[in-house]
Structure 1
Amino acid sequence: MFNLAPVSLWLEDYGGLKTLFDGWRAEGVEDLRAHLQAEPALLAQCSAALKVLRVNQRTLDLFAAPTQDVLVSQLSRVFRDDMHASMVRELAQLWNGCLEFTNETVNYALDGRRLDARISVRVLPGHEEDWSRVLVSLEDITQEVRGAHQLRRSEQYARDLFEYSPVSLWVEDFSAIKALLDGVRAQGIGDFKTFLKVHPEFISRCMQEIRVIDVNQQTLQMFGASSKEHLLNNISRVFRGEMRESFAEQLQDLWEGRTVQQREVTNYSLTGEAVHIHMQFSVLNSHLDDWSLVLLSLVDITARKKAEAYLEYLGKHDVLTQLRNRAFYAEELNRLTRKGPWPFAVIAIDLNGLKAINDEQGHAAGDAMLRRAGEVLAKAVDAPACAARVGGDEFAVLLPGVDERGALAVRERILSLVEMNNQFYSGQPLGFAMGIACCQSGEGVEAALLKADQAMYEEKRRYYQQMGTERRR
């Protein structure tokens, strides 16, 4: 039975080790680990005190030994390198009086193969006093250890891919939200969109039921969090404002069975700054039955949004004066012509003396005067009125829902602001020629514009007469 056992069996004599331990105890040694650590050579002395009496055929096969004598003569090749750490653990258990234990160790076959083994040691009954008969069994667990190692490497690889992904990744549990949606469906609700309008509190409840399982390092960086706990404890500061509307759309998609989604949303960093995000949402296929595992990837598109906003701004604003440009003016005028409101007033404005400034002081001085004009007109009107630069030195103020009396009040405000501006800036004074007109319907807009222009040019003519100059055609 010993020889035919399917595991490696060693019958050994540990009597020499017992004598060695007794001698050390007599010398006052209490901590075997510390004793061996202080004198590493003692470990070899312990190993030499062990005598192999017999091994079975499985042992010879496992260690690639032709005979027991060959194996015993080559034990230094079997027990070496990283085996010593596990041997210290075994010796410590024997030192502490444990006469039966199991441990994992490393041996080496005579052909050089590394063997991971589970070793079981038992001092046989009747030999507890002298340890002269000890049965050692070795189970080859090399494949098991390699499989576990490969699994750990695979898990670490997956963890590293998640943790250090260049995009923000969130793992979330939506199972509670699925339960809420199923509950609504069980009530016979068919029109979920209307249901959300009637019960807006349902959206808030669903948002509260999102359970964040994990986030990666890029997420912490994106939202300005010092740690995962810091972020997860302040989720309400991240998901707020416009997020409610986009989450309602997300719920609508989930209701309709779309478990893979993408959309642009706005979140907030913990410093309070808006973070524009392209979000991809996916319920993992293995969890479609309960939505308990959801992966979200967030890409920060804030820079792109700012660029788009700036391009949109440039498309509607004059860069020099920061007022609306001619394109916006024409579009707004067309809209007002079609939709009102009425009455509608317009103030046509021309900057006095710009050509002379450009000719005498240079275009930099002329640009500075145009910027001053923009400052005045921007402060003079508020939405829905708008001030626009429609030409080189030509401006217009559109006043929807304002009659002639209101337009005159705006004109007086502009003149007051011009006076304040001239007090602030030294040198060439700022001056406007202005003309006002008003109409009661869209059919009279063109006539009102012409009338305002004529009134403005008449005032400009008087300005140049007063200055004793003539404006070139």
Structure 2
Amino acid sequence: MKPISHHLVSLDFEEIWDLAPVSLWLEDYSGLKRLFDLWREQGVIDLAGFLAEDASRQDQCIEQFKVLRVNQFTLDLFEASNLEELQSRINDVLRDDIRNCVTYELCELWAGRMGFATQTFNYTLSGRRLEVRIRARILQGHEANWDRVLLTLEDVTQEEESRQRLEEQQRYAQSLFELSPVSLWVEDFSTIKMLLDEVRACGIDDFVTFVQVHPEFVGRCMQEIRVIDVNRHTLQIFDATSKPQLIEQLDQVFRDEMHDTFKLQLIDLWYGKLFQQREVVNHTLTGHLLHIHMQFHIMPGHEADWSRVLVSLVDISARKKAEAYLEYLGKHDVLTKLRNRAYFTEEVNRLSRKGPWPVSVLAIDLNGLKQINDEAGHAAGDAMLRRAGEVLSKAMDAPACVCRIGGDEFVALLPGGDTRDAQAVQDRIAELLELNNQFYQGHALSLAVGAATCQAGEVLDQAIQSADQAMYRAKTAHYQQQAMERRRS
């Protein structure tokens, strides 16, 4: 074997040095070594603290870095025409807030380590910022005086910019999540998927029947909901002080009506419906009922294992209350709080079709309302109508109901009530009228009542007319009685 020529080795080294696709620096740190030795003789122990006391001391250290050689990649990277230009403008390369990184490098060498690795930034001679990853090593045989140090600089500007963009996107996404005015939950349904797969593997085809026969399976699945994160709005609407508190007390949130709702959710998942919307009922940690519009979506990329699920909840409790109030207004009289004519018409139609029979009807009219309106004003008349509502609402129990169908006209419907039941209600009205007149001063409340009973096979409207006629007879008798009393007086 022929010996390798020293000239060839040297030539290969020269080619490798200049053609290397990384920035190479050969430097002399011997001046820095001597400066460190001097400071040690002066009793310096904590270099970081020593440098922090006086910024000029770090400048002293930087002045000791002597660049001996760089490769062509370095000149191209830093936009220098030659080594002399790069050396003369080294302060343009190492500037701004690079001091913290330099302090770390100096402390590594002070601690006796023969090299360091760090990530920092430099500047090209045109002022373009470079993110660089630096690795430095005191070459073998030069450990005593540090006169030969090899540095490699890797340009990681694009990598760092990509990392910063990714971090910005993550912060942006996290801000959207945390600051959303909608309750957001990130959940893990992977165990629930495993349970459903196990049921499917057992040969179950009719999952609807399965969950009806095995309600405990639904409860088991509810226990396997894993909440990974919730946003701030979730804590607000569920009266939670922290995320751990809410997650630890999920059994107080998902309870009661939620069992049946979750069963429907499982059925949809069984049949492959990975996006769902429905109205559900939850509870706050303080026990308040929440009506919720829920959107459930297995996140893209997790369809195979359901390990990431996004659930959004909108509190619709106020809307539900408004709907309930509108429904109340649609079937109730605002003044008397009794049912209104629309409800009366619907109930008559329903009873005519389905019963139960017999159905008794009480036609009721407020006596003397026109006289009260004429003498004391409509406010006094409205007060009398409210008093009539109080008496009539207390005079009967469900399923009986009383409706205001006109100005001073009322009708009571007694499903399943015979003539004796109708008479009992009339007696109850008379008793309550007496109590009401004792409680209120001024005009006495007086009601004219007529009753009729409709048997199976008869027409309910005819019974209503009969009751109305009986009421008018009672009303006529009332006014005749009043006239006789006035003549006697």
Give the TM-score normalised by structure 1. 0.94
Q: Distance in 1 between matches of 2:484 and 2:149?
A: 123
Alignment of 1:251 onto 2:302: no
Q: Secondary structure at the match of 1:296?
A: strand
Residue 442 of structure 1: how far off its partner (Å): 4.5
Q: CA deviation at 1:375?
A: 1.7
Moved more, 361-370 or 409-418: 409-418
136-145 or 216-225, which deviates more? 216-225
Letter in 2 for 1:393: D
Q: 1:448 — aligned with what?
A: 463
**Could you say what secondary structure the match of 1:115 adopts?**
strand
Residue 40 (str. 1) matches residue 90 (str. 2): no
Query: Which of residues 121, 131, 136 in structure 1 aligns to 2:136?
Result: 121
Indicate the residue corresponding to 1:411 in structure 2: 426
1:468 aligns with 2:483: yes
Pairs within 5 Å for 1:271-290? 271-290=286-305
1:336 and 2:351 aligned: yes
| Equivalence for 2:157 | 142
What amino acid sits opposite 1:22 in the alignment?
A: D
Mapping of residues 10-89 of structure 1, within 5 Å: 10-89=25-104
Q: In structure 2, what is the Cα distance between the partners aligned to 1:34 and 1:415? A: 98
Amino acid at match of 2:325: Y
User: Equivalent residue for 2:333?
Assistant: 318
Looking at structure 2, the residues matched to 367 and 37 of structure 1 have their Cα atoms a distance apart, in angstroms, of 87
Normalising by structure 2, what TM-score? 0.91
Question: How far apart, CA to CA, are the structure 1 residues paired with 2:247 and 2:103?
Answer: 44
Verify: 1:101 aligned to 2:116, yes or no: yes
Distance 1:285 1:451 in 2: 69
Q: 1: distance between equivalents of 2:249 and 2:330?
A: 39
CA distance in 2, matches of 1:362, 1:167: 51
For residue 292 of structure 1, give the secondary structure of its aligned residue in structure 2: coil
- State the distance in 1 between where 2:70 and 2:89 align: 14
Structure 2 distance, partners of 1:216, 1:442, is 62
Residues 380-391 of structure 1 aligned to structure 2 (within 5 Å): 380-391=395-406
Question: Could you say which residue in structure 2 is the equivalent of 1:131?
Answer: 146
**Partners of 1:469 and 1:46 in 2: CA distance:** 124
1:95–1:379 CA distance, 2 compared to 1 (3 A): farther
In 1, distance between residues paired with 2:452 and 2:111? Answer: 106
Task: Identify the match of residue 246 of structure 2 among 219, 222, 231.
Answer: 231
Where do residues 192-203 of structure 1 align in structure 2 (5 Å cutoff)? 192-203=207-218
Give deviations 1:416-436, integer Å, cap 9, x for gaps. Answer: 222332233222222222222
Asked if the contact 1:337–1:441 (Cα under 8 Å) also holds between the matched residues in 2, the reply is no
* Residues 121 and 135 in structure 1, CA contact (< 8 A), matched pair in contact too: yes
Distance in 2, matches of 1:395 and 1:273, equals 38
Q: Which deviations, in whole Å up to 9, do the C-alpha atoms of 1:267-311 show, x marking residues without a partner?
A: 223333322222222222322222222222222222322222222
Residues 467 and 29 of structure 1: CA distance in aligned 2, closer, same or farther (over 3 Å): farther
Kept in 2, the 8 Å contact 1:336–1:442? The answer is no
Mapped to 2, the partners of 1:73 and 1:444 lie a distance apart of 113
Matches of 1:140 and 1:228 in 2, distance apart?
42
The reply to whether residue 399 of structure 1 matches residue 414 of structure 2 is yes
> Greater CA deviation, 1-10 or 387-396?
1-10
1-structure distance, mates of 2:44, 2:361: 104
Aligned pair in 2 of structure 1 residues 469, 254: CA closer, same or farther (>3 Å)? farther
CA displacement 1:13-66 (0-9 Å, x = unmatched): 222222322333333333222222222222211111222222222222221111
- Aligned to 1:118, what secondary structure does the other structure show? strand
Within a 5 Å distance, the mapping from 1:284-303 to structure 2 comes to 284-303=299-318
- Which secondary structure state, in structure 2, belongs to the residue aligned with residue 286 of structure 1? coil
RMSD value, Cα: 2.0
Q: Percent of aligned pairs with the same residue? A: 61
Asked whether the 8 Å contact 1:337–1:443 carries over to 2, the reply is: no
Deviation, structure 1 residue 439: 2.7
Quote the Cα distance in structure 2 between the aligned partners of 1:219 and 1:169: 7
- SS at structure 1 position matched to 2:458: helix
Aligned residue in 1 for 2:362: 347
Query: Residue by residue, what CA displacement relative to the aligned partner does 1:326-348 show, whole Å, maximum 9, x if unpaired?
Result: 11011111211221112222222
Q: Which residue identity is paired with 1:328?
A: Y
In structure 1, C-alpha distance between the alignment counterparts of 2:439 and 2:252, rounded to whole Å: 43
Give the equivalent residue in structure 2 for 1:190: 205
CA distance in 2, matches of 1:64, 1:379: 96
Q: 2:232: which partner in 1?
A: 217
1:153 aligns with one of 145, 165, 168: 168
Aligned-pair CA distance for 1:444: 4.6
1:425 maps to which residue? 440
Shift of 1:411: 2.2
Output the CA distance in 1 between the equivalents of 2:438 and 2:27. 108
- Residue identity opposite 1:366 in structure 2: G
* Letter of the structure 2 residue corresponding to residue 56 of structure 1: N
Name stretches of at least 5 consecutive residues in structure 2 with no aligned partner.
Answer: 1-12
SS in 1 for 2:281: strand
Separation in structure 2 between the aligned mates of residue 26 and residue 411 of structure 1, nearest angstrom: 115
Report the Cα offset of residue 178 of structure 1.
1.7
Find the residue that maps to 1:346 and give its secondary structure.
Answer: strand
Using the TM superposition, give the Cα deviation of residue 389 of structure 1 relative to its aligned residue in structure 2, in angstroms: 0.6
- C-alpha spacing 1:207/1:469, structure 2 compared with 1 (3 Å): farther
Q: Which amino acid aligns with 1:367?
A: D
Report the alpha carbon displacement of residue 320 of structure 1 after superposing the two structures with TM. Answer: 0.8
Change (3 A) 1:33 1:375: farther
| Mapped partners of 1:229, 1:386: distance in 2 | 50
2:228 aligned counterpart, secondary structure: strand
Is the contact made by 1:100 and 1:120 (CA closer than 8 Å) also made in structure 2?
A: yes
Which letter does structure 1 place at the counterpart of 2:329? L
Which is worse superposed, 251-260 or 388-397? 251-260
Matches of 2:409 and 2:422, distance apart in 1: 18
SS where residue 52 of structure 1 aligns?
strand
Which stretches in structure 1 are left out of the alignment for 5+ residues? none
Partner of 2:386: 371
Out of 166, 170, 194, the position equivalent to 2:181 is: 166
Aligned residues: 470
Amino acid at match of 2:269: L
CA pair 22-417 structure 1, distance change in 2 beyond 3 A: farther
